[in-house]
Structure 1
Amino acid sequence: MSSRARRTLLSLIVFFTACGVAGMFISQKVGAQSSTDESAFRDSLKKFTDVYQVVADNYAEPLTGDKPDDVIYDGAIPSMLHTLDPHSNFYDPKSYAKMREDQHGRYFGVGMTIQQQNNKIIVVYPSEGTPAFKAGIRPGDLIVSVDGKPTEGLDTSAVADLLKGPKGTHVHLTVTREGAASPLTFDLVRDDISHPSIDLKYEIRPGVLYIHITQFQETTGREFSDAIDQAGDIKGLLLDLRGNPGGLLTEAVSVCDKLLNKGQLIVSQRGRAYPEQSYRAQHGNGGHVFPVVVLVNHGTASAAEIVSGALQDHDRAIISGEITFGKGLVQTVYPLSDNTGLALTTYHYYTPSGRLIQRNYNGVSLYDYYYNHGQPQNNKDREVKLTDSGRTVYGGGGITPDDDITTPKANHFQELLAAHNVFFNYTKHYFINHTVDKNFQVDDAVMTDFKQFLTAQNISYTDQDLNGVDDWLKTNIKAYLFGTQFGETQRLRIEADWDPMIAKALTYMPQAEALEQTALKDAAAKQTAQNSPTE
């Protein structure tokens, strides 16, 4: 067996031993561990190491290079965890570092999102206010080298590592840009780069604040609180949680705390090894109330479902959109050796009304669980609970919205343009000979140029194709052009102003206000009853 394979096997034994010791400790706390269980665990560990030893000694090709790690990190450990549930997970050193960076919401670097295309590294966009943005790096720039090291053949993770470094240090970039006669060079000084979880917040209608939370990380609660406080006299809030995969439970609690009354229950955790733990609003909204509409879809999961469920159960918000993902399992992340980590399911979470949001995953493949979950067959098979005012809500399969809004389905022509990344690529073409200002509109001249670009890219279309999605085309053309000229926030805002799901959700604001008034009256009546003398 090679030294690399032996090292990997040792790491595996450490991993399983850590899991076994943790399991024994937990079981002992509930009085369930026996010497027979411990012996069975050690026998299973020996069987696995024996199998690995045979593979390492006799496989047709030697386990050299990254193969030992691949066998363990991508095979044995994930397969073991996925027999438990779909969400227990193992993080190899790269994914563990990325997970921790995402949770912190900041790092030292130059501040741009990159992507690998055709074996080359392309800038998707520089984040506003960062060294990359200030230096004039644009979406679509191809990174040729970093500090003289060619990037061809490197993946995004490797290039990102080259761009990161201690604050105040220099990094030299060479990029090529469509229309530029020669490569461009940039000398950037690394800085503290924040990655906010709220990527868009603005007054979308007079007095109505729109906030989109991408995930729940260490800064989310503070970001949300600041956004509410800075908005002043709010007449309504549209909270967009579409595509939010969740994140840190504490930050979901913090967001709810800003909207609920002090003392109201937000979420409960129940696990095998520990007592039930409940989270309540510690500070509350201080009487600052306004109607709230929450927009969700099939990609809204975990911590985002905690927020949706708590606001729905307390009649604090109208939930609109599509039924959410249905992840009610809570993972605790355990740091392991070699900069790896284990995310192990330790709790189930329940909304204030007692709903378990976790969807059934027994007998379902991992692929179908994540990509083909769809709607539950019918509500009669789901647990029924009541909100504070007596409205019916359902558990056991995600958060069911109060008002349905279906995600628009793209037609064949739209899918074709998306597959060819047309708007991103057209933007690079347009800026060769043009620029835009804040008064720019997509007029006939721009549309003629866009059609010529489609033809040059061998993308066939008919006038019917174009006319059928005219508003969508003009919105995306303008959004991507503004994103390059003024920053990613402008692109997101133009798209939000057009978004038909957002437009529909805003129509439920009067319904949300009526719900809020009912909740206030119920709370006042309960308070009066509590204060009334009894005989």
Structure 2
Amino acid sequence: MAPSTRRALFSASLFLAACGITGSLLGGRVAAQSATDESTLRDSMKSFTDVYSIVEANYADKLDSDHIDKAIYDGAIPGMLHVLDPHSNFYDPKAFAAMREQQHGRYYGVGMTIQPQNTKVVVVAPMEGAPAYKAGIRPGDVILFVDGKKIENMDTTAVANLLKGPRGTHVTVVMAREGAPKPLTFDLVRDEIPRLTVDLAFMVKPTIGYIRIQDFQSETTAKEVQDAIDKFGPKLQGLVIDLRGNPGGLLNEAVDISDKFLQKGQIVVSQRGRAFPDQVYRAPSGSDLKFPIVVIVNRNTASAAEILSGALQDHDRGLIVGETTFGKGLVQTVFPISENTGLALTTYHYYTPSGRLIQRNYEGVSLYDYYYVRNDAAPANDTNKEVEHTDSGRVVYGGGGITPDEKIPELKSDHFQDMTLIHYSFSGFATHYMSDRKVDKDVVIDDAILEQFKAYLHQQKVDFTDKEFAENLDWTKAMIKKEIFTVQFGITVGNQVIVEWDPQVQKALTFMPEALALENHTLPSQQKGMQTASAAKVPGQDTTHP
């Protein structure tokens, strides 16, 4: 037998063994498998290896180890799992290591976000306090060499891997910077880099705090939320929690965050599966915090973020505003397998405290359509939806995600916005504008700066009309200020500029009185907006954090 065939057999056996591990780890149910089932399994295994042997012997190109890895890790195993549901998944060694790093909430490196821009790898921003920040690396710097290795034609993952390494070790990075007469060399000492999932927490109004949670994929998320609340202190009289684009993550983190706002013993979520006992998660400690809460969600709010949203909504503890969420009501258990791989298998359905299963239908839907195509134009039909009620009696529906109490339309981009973002116009202009000056936080984006920005767009060959520019004036000013502040003060301050401008955030703030009425149990039982029914993978900017 050829070595590649043996490798294919091993990889296929790895997956089939995982199915047995699922049972043996949690109750040994696979041991009860009948002889007929075992015979069917052997037949299926033989069919797979027969197909692979024919491919290996007759395929037009020679199959090397990379072809084999892709055929097994990217083809056969994911194909098997996606027949079951859209969320069961297989992690090859690289993906499994990245997942574990993400869950730990830290890694060792230099601490900067990098991004491909045309043929270059560009620094989006160094992280405050990280080695790259302390060394003076700035947004817009272009990476040329890492430890003497030219990074031309390398992707950002490969560059990030060169920059990561053991704590205390050195890495030399050569950068090109606009306005600098020659490349700049930085000797960086790698350190522990925290991966913060709460990337923004500030007082958006004198007595109202704002917290943005990017995801729940780190074991530190609940602590980060608590740290933010502690930082706000006694002046906090209202809270906005921004879960837009949050793809979810660890269930325990969603439970622990819910515990900070619910009463002790209240149900956060329950889960039911065929092979394992039902589980009910309750707020273990509870909280005496009484301020009103507004939670902003959108169509890309999913999984654990929906668990938090559903718990606060069902217990009338928070007012949910925005768009109907993604609708992921399945729980995956990750089973480690040999060779540093992992199987994320759907083992439970989860239900909100009122009993809602919010999973969106995926039968007969392609994987692409499930994740990226949403028919929001179709009228909602509540007739066949499961009806439940919140603690105060408000109507809520199962299936199709969490319906907001108050709808806030999504922000839709136009041609001008798309073109300027595709060309990285704002970050490029900020790098150019700040190459020979500094600004204060009271800077005003005036006509002079806008004219310079127009000239920069023409230089970039970005086509636009005066009408398009005028229609996007407020957005353009906010984006310019954000990128200028990112260069001068850091990415956190830059992102805060956009939040303070964001029309959805500003609209959410207007619902704070309704959230207070909900908290005081004075909101009408049939709240407007509840009469109609409503990562998951989420497409995003290709950025890497070395």
Tell whether the structures are fold-level matches, with TM greater than 0.5.
yes
Aligned 8 A contact 1:106 1:192 in 2: yes
- Alignment correspondent of 2:296: 295
SS in 1 for 2:442: coil
Aligned 8 A contact 1:140 1:425 in 2: yes
Give the superposition deviation at 1:30: 9.1
Aligned 8 A contact 2:174 2:186 in 1: yes
Identity %: 59
Deviations along 1:350-371, one digit per CA (max 9) or x if unpaired, are 0000000110100011111001
Structure 1 pair 115–508 and aligned structure 2 pair: CA distance change class (3 A): same
SS in 2 for 1:288: coil
* Among candidates 211, 233, 250, match of residue 252 of structure 2: 250
CA distance in 2, matches of 1:245, 1:190: 29
Deviations along 1:217-240, one digit per CA (max 9) or x if unpaired, are 200111111211221122101000
SS in 2 for 1:267: strand
- Alignment correspondent of 2:516: 513
Give the superposition deviation at 1:270: 0.5
Aligned 8 A contact 2:302 2:328 in 1: yes
Aligned 8 A contact 2:204 2:500 in 1: yes
- Alignment correspondent of 1:313: 314
Deviations along 1:152-184, one digit per CA (max 9) or x if unpaired, are 122211111111111111110011112221111
Structure 1 pair 435–11 and aligned structure 2 pair: CA distance change class (3 A): same
SS in 2 for 1:330: strand
- Alignment correspondent of 1:392: 395
SS in 2 for 1:320: strand
Give the superposition deviation at 1:437: 2.1
Unaligned residue ranges in structure 1 (runs of 5+)? 523-535
SS in 1 for 2:84: coil
Aligned 8 A contact 1:142 1:175 in 2: yes
Aligned 8 A contact 2:24 2:31 in 1: no
Give the superposition deviation at 1:466: 1.4
Structure having greater relative contact order (Cα 8 Å, sep ≥ 6): 2
Please identify, of 336-345 and 312-321, the stretch whose mean Cα deviation from structure 2 is larger.
336-345
What is the TM-score of this pair, normalised by structure 1? 0.94
- Alignment correspondent of 2:529: none
SS in 2 for 1:347: strand
1:272 and 2:274 are equivalent in the alignment: yes
Give the superposition deviation at 1:348: 0.5
- Alignment correspondent of 2:336: 335
Aligned 8 A contact 2:24 2:30 in 1: no
Give the superposition deviation at 1:327: 0.2
Please identify, of 142-151 and 499-508, the stretch whose mean Cα deviation from structure 2 is larger.
142-151
Deviations along 1:474-514, one digit per CA (max 9) or x if unpaired, are 00000011011111101110000000000000111000000
Structure 1 pair 292–349 and aligned structure 2 pair: CA distance change class (3 A): same
Give the superposition deviation at 1:32: 6.7
Give the superposition deviation at 1:47: 1.2
- The AA in structure 2 aligned to 1:135 is A
- Alignment correspondent of 2:9: 9
Please identify, of 39-48 and 345-354, the stretch whose mean Cα deviation from structure 2 is larger.
39-48
SS in 2 for 1:432: helix
Please identify, of 213-222 and 150-159, the stretch whose mean Cα deviation from structure 2 is larger.
150-159
CA distance in 2, matches of 1:410, 1:97: 36
- Alignment correspondent of 1:525: none
CA distance in 2, matches of 1:148, 1:4: 36
- The AA in structure 2 aligned to 1:312 is Q
CA distance in 2, matches of 1:73, 1:15: 10
SS in 1 for 2:122: strand
SS in 2 for 1:431: helix
Aligned pairs for 1:118-517 (under 5 A) are 118-216=118-216, 217-233=218-234, 234-285=236-287, 287-375=288-376, 377-517=380-520
- Alignment correspondent of 1:88: 88
Structure 1 pair 259–107 and aligned structure 2 pair: CA distance change class (3 A): same
CA distance in 2, matches of 1:222, 1:374: 37
Structure 1 pair 391–437 and aligned structure 2 pair: CA distance change class (3 A): same
What is the TM-score of this pair, normalised by structure 2? 0.92
Give the superposition deviation at 1:461: 2.2
CA distance in 2, matches of 1:439, 1:92: 49
Structure 1 pair 520–422 and aligned structure 2 pair: CA distance change class (3 A): closer
Give the superposition deviation at 1:4: 4.5
Aligned 8 A contact 2:18 2:343 in 1: no
CA distance in 1, matches of 2:4, 2:155: 23
Give the superposition deviation at 1:434: 2.8
CA distance in 2, matches of 1:272, 1:246: 23
Deviations along 1:248-286, one digit per CA (max 9) or x if unpaired, are 00000000000000010000011111111011011111x
SS in 1 for 2:436: coil
CA distance in 1, matches of 2:212, 2:445: 26
Give the superposition deviation at 1:25: 7.3
Give the superposition deviation at 1:27: 8.7
**Root-mean-square deviation (CA), in Å?**
1.9
Structure 1 pair 238–201 and aligned structure 2 pair: CA distance change class (3 A): same
Aligned 8 A contact 1:316 1:519 in 2: no
1:33 and 2:33 are equivalent in the alignment: yes
CA distance in 1, matches of 2:395, 2:450: 50
Give the superposition deviation at 1:119: 3.5
Deviations along 1:29-83, one digit per CA (max 9) or x if unpaired, are 3997322112211221121111111111221111014111111111111111100
Aligned 8 A contact 1:271 1:347 in 2: yes
SS in 2 for 1:447: helix
Give the superposition deviation at 1:190: 0.5
SS in 2 for 1:70: helix
Give the superposition deviation at 1:439: 2.2
- The AA in structure 1 aligned to 2:53 is Q
Aligned 8 A contact 2:20 2:30 in 1: no
Deviations along 1:418-461, one digit per CA (max 9) or x if unpaired, are 22121111112212333222222211111111111111111222
Give the superposition deviation at 1:303: 0.1
CA distance in 2, matches of 1:8, 1:180: 53
Unaligned residue ranges in structure 2 (runs of 5+)? 526-546
Aligned 8 A contact 1:263 1:282 in 2: yes
CA distance in 2, matches of 1:34, 1:126: 58
CA distance in 1, matches of 2:334, 2:273: 15
Deviations along 1:372-418, one digit per CA (max 9) or x if unpaired, are 12447422221110000000001111000000001121122112212
Structure 1 pair 495–302 and aligned structure 2 pair: CA distance change class (3 A): same
Give the superposition deviation at 1:5: 5.1
Please identify, of 381-390 and 462-471, the stretch whose mean Cα deviation from structure 2 is larger.
462-471
